Chain A
Amino acid sequence: MSTILVIDDVQFCRDMAAKALGRAGYAVVAVGSAMEGLTALWNQRIDLIVLDNEMPQMPGIEFLRQLRLSALWKDLPVIMLTGSAEREKVLAAREFGAAEYVLKSSSAVGTLLARVKKRLEPLALPAETVAGEPESGPPANAGQISAAVPTAPDAGVAPAGTPAAAPRPAGSEATTRDELFKAIDALAGKTLRGVVTQIISLASSPRGGLTDLVRVVRQDPLISARVFQAANSAAFVSNKGRVASIDEAIRNIGAGTVRTLAMSIGVFDAFPAGRADGADLLRCWQHAIAVAWVMDRLVPASPTAEPGIAYLVGLCHDLDELLLRQRFPETYATAVARATSLGISVRETFPDLFGLDKAGMVGRLLSVLAMPDAVAKPIQAYASNTPAACDAHPNPLVRGLQVANYLANALQLTSSQAMIAPVKARSLHQLSPQSLDLIAMRGEVLSSMTVLARLSPSEEAELFTPLLPQSPTQAWYCRQEGLSPTDPLETALRMLCRVEVHDHLPTRRGELGGCDTLVAAAGQSDAAQYAPSELAKLCRTNGKRCILLSPQGGAAQQIPGEVELLVYPCPLASLGGALKAARAAAA
């Protein structure tokens, strides 16, 4: 059954429209303000809005304008039902894509029902039937003369941001550079909303008072509704109780959370993950939010990285992949398949398949989106450098991005083919890894996704299920000196099995004890300490197998049968597979 949202501040008018629509067989949600309307939109599927204009806090036209800024609701049919047909209001409604404009009069309800009926089927029918229904049926009430054919918002000029290139048919492998440029340039105008920029600077400024922040947040109904929702979410309610005002909500969740919320909404709205895009795209978002979360805590504020910049760098670092997945799903699937079979990262396939490397893509994308240099530069540096070069990069934002990526991948917030690696202690220079609470982060990222993408319970369940199951394997994990205890490899192991962490290899016979396998992470490729032949000897003594993780670039060595060598960065799934094999051998 179609659900209609009625927004009118006058209770009698609201009730009358709701009752009439209810009698005609529609499900109706009736609210008294634009703000409540937004909350309703977030909380349930709405098929059409009946909107009054003259409302005290926010006029209907302004609500409509804000609605069209969001990719989620830019095409939602809206029928204006108002007391005034002043020229400028009617023209504004038209400009923001109101499908119909009905004057409140004694015949308004009849007219409204006829106009609604043209767009929505009141009875429960499959969506396809409704969409395919011709719009030219006669109006239900007699005596009406239609002067002009009403134009649905989606039939007009293509809204800003409509991608220029359609997805390629299955079977075609490569996407040309021109097609890619067209898709990127079509995003022009999707800059972060002014309000988002203001919130970032206010929440970041040491002088920015709460009063100013409240004032700015109030200007944007989308962000207000989300702040409200966040403050009343289970996590915050358990600490502070339910809140009833925006002021209270902002005070409870804090300026920092308001800032990150505003940024996520701003960027997510430019690249929404629709239901049709499936779980892959949602995971891509999940990865972006996870990296943003780690960056926010890992990179301390400094003159080159104001608060909020690190979060934004994390959030936007993979926008090119989001675009490729959305616009060129077939080519992207080819890229993933090629990367998996060759054991390389997906981005290494881009020059061949898209005619442009990751740095080129993301650079153009960020400039089209008008991102400041403070955000664009570190992302480009990360995209154009090898992992080893990123590890040693002088800009903490670049090194942070590398670590945050590995951590998000290790927490299974990306894909099973995502790369992981331990990080060198010196890569964390000027960073603050001690403030990371990774388990809390995993929960926060997942609940952010549920709210941002308005997931159904089944989609939520799919997203929450770990990519790789945890096994009862017990691992002795030995990390070589020079590697940081903020360790994506350890995090990955903890997600996959049970781990004992040591700074040395077992020295006595039987010391491996109840462990099924030995996992050794070498910081340098030529480390004599972890010579494969020595490890093999250790394995034979203890009757176990060993997994050796060694960085790229080591001299080729003979690897004995007891040792499985993984060259890092390596896919998460390879580590999972090696653990499984080791347990099988131990049994």
Chain B
Amino acid sequence: MSQKAAAANLGRAGYAHTVAANGRQAVEAGSPTPPAVSESAASLANAPVDMASLLNTCMGDLEFLAEVTRDFERQARVHLQEIEQALAASSADDVRLAAHSIKGAAGYLGAASVRAVAHRLEELARGGAIAGAAQLLGELRVELDRAVGFLRDKAAVPGGATGDRPFGEKRQP
């Protein structure tokens, strides 16, 4: 669903709402003309994490940002492992739950591409199919690496919460 459609639903139900694109613009539901996307916003759209909003979320507190980064990384590793185990056990439902968790966390951080891949994986597993799941898992690792690398850089977090191992690297048995 588009942001505008979501905003329209909220507006119809009588809620105050905000639609933010990369944390820069806010538009009212049902606004006849979509806001012009500025150049800087467009370039920021390539970043794996919506940094401006995230800093707003962290109330400008870099220490909090570092804490959030470490939490995200730690949780993401747990959920990736859950997906691996669920795939090994052919449990589509467990794949769905773990993908849902990553999706939720990524949504919070404004990590749009991580969220998108996790969402696809969740929907795939919801249908009970796990045939294409391994490939999506691979994509998810790549996007997580990008997002966490970016976050560590911005938050000046020296290493991963569980060592400097990238997400693409499989855990040794």
**What mask results when residues 90 to 122 of chain B are scored 1 for a CB within 8 Å of chain A, else 0?**
000000010011011101111000000000000
Q: Assess whether B53 is in contact with A110, with CB atoms less than 8 Å apart.
A: yes
Q: Does the CB pair A109–B57 fall under 8 Å?
A: yes
Q: Are A90 and B23 within 8 A (Cβ)?
A: no
Kindly report which residue of chain B lies nearest to residue A103, judged by CB atoms: B6
CB neighbours of B108 from chain A (8 A): 12-13, 16, 104-106, 108-109
> Which residues of chain B are near A90, meaning CB under 8 Å?
9-10, 12-13, 15
Asked if B15 contacts A94 (CB within 8 A), the reply is yes
A150 within 8 A of B: yes
Contact B20 A105 (CB under 8 A): yes
Q: Are B110 and A105 in contact (CB under 8 A)?
A: yes
User: A461 at interface (Cβ–Cβ under 8 A)?
Assistant: no
Instruction: Tell me if B66 is interfacial: C-beta within 8 Å of chain A.
Output: no
Contact bitstring B22-40, A, C-beta under 8 A = 1, else 0: 0111111100000000000
Choice from A23, A86, A107 contacting B20 with Cβ under 8 Å: A107
- A110 pairs with B57, CB closer than 8 A: yes
Q: Are A12 and B64 in contact (CB under 8 A)?
A: no
A145 to B53, CA, bound (A): 16
Q: Which residues of B contact A141 (CB under 8 A)?
A: 56
Verify B101–A147 contact, CB threshold 8 A.
Answer: no
Interface size on A, residues (CB 8 A): 45
Determine which residue in B18, B20, B29 has the highest number of CB atoms from chain A within 10 A of its CB, and name it: B18
Does B89 make an interface contact (CB < 8 A)? no
Q: What is the interface size of chain B, counting residues whose CB is below 8 A from a CB of the partner? A: 46
CB distance from B86 to the nearest CB of A (A): 14
The reply to whether B105 and A13 form a contact with Cβ atoms under 8 Å apart is: yes
Interface string of A99-141 (1 = CB under 8 A from B): 0110111111111000100000000000000000000000001
Contacting residues, chain A, for B75 (C-beta < 8 A) = 11-12
The answer to whether A106 touches B23, judged by C-beta atoms less than 8 angstroms apart, is yes
Pair count A-B, CB < 8 A: 139
B153 at the interface (CB under 8 A from A): no
Residues of chain A within 8 A of B71, CB atoms compared: 12, 15-16
Which listed residue, A11, A91, A105, A151, touches B101 by the CB 8 Å rule? A11
**A105-B110, A106-B57 known; A85 vs B6 contact (CB < 8 Å):** yes
Interface string of A344-375 (1 = CB under 8 A from B): 00000000000000000000000000000000
Whether a CB of chain A sits under 8 angstroms from the CB of B132 is: no
The smallest C-beta distance from A203 to any residue of chain B, in angstroms, reads: 32
A278 interface residue (CB < 8 Å to B): no
Query: A108 CA to B50 CA in the complex, in Å?
Result: 12
Indicate with 1 or 0, residue by residue over A143-163, a CB within 8 angstroms of chain B CB atoms: 111111111000000000000
- The answer to whether B88 has its CB under 8 Å from any CB of chain A is no
B32, chain A: closest CB distance, angstroms: 14
B16 and A107 within 8 A (CB): no
**List of A residues within 8 angstroms of B50 by Cβ:** 105-106
CA distance A90 to B68 in the complex (A): 28
Query: When each residue 62-80 of chain B gets 1 if its CB lies under 8 Å from chain A and 0 otherwise, what string results?
Result: 0010011001100100000
A residues in contact with B49, CB < 8 Å:
106
Extra contacts besides A23-B64, A143-B25, A151-B14 (5): CB < 8 Å: A86-B9, A105-B108, A106-B54, A106-B107, A110-B56
User: Which residues of B does A touch, CB under 8 Å?
Assistant: 1, 5-7, 9-18, 20, 23-29, 49-50, 53-54, 56-57, 59, 61, 64, 67-68, 71-72, 75, 97, 100-101, 103-105, 107-110
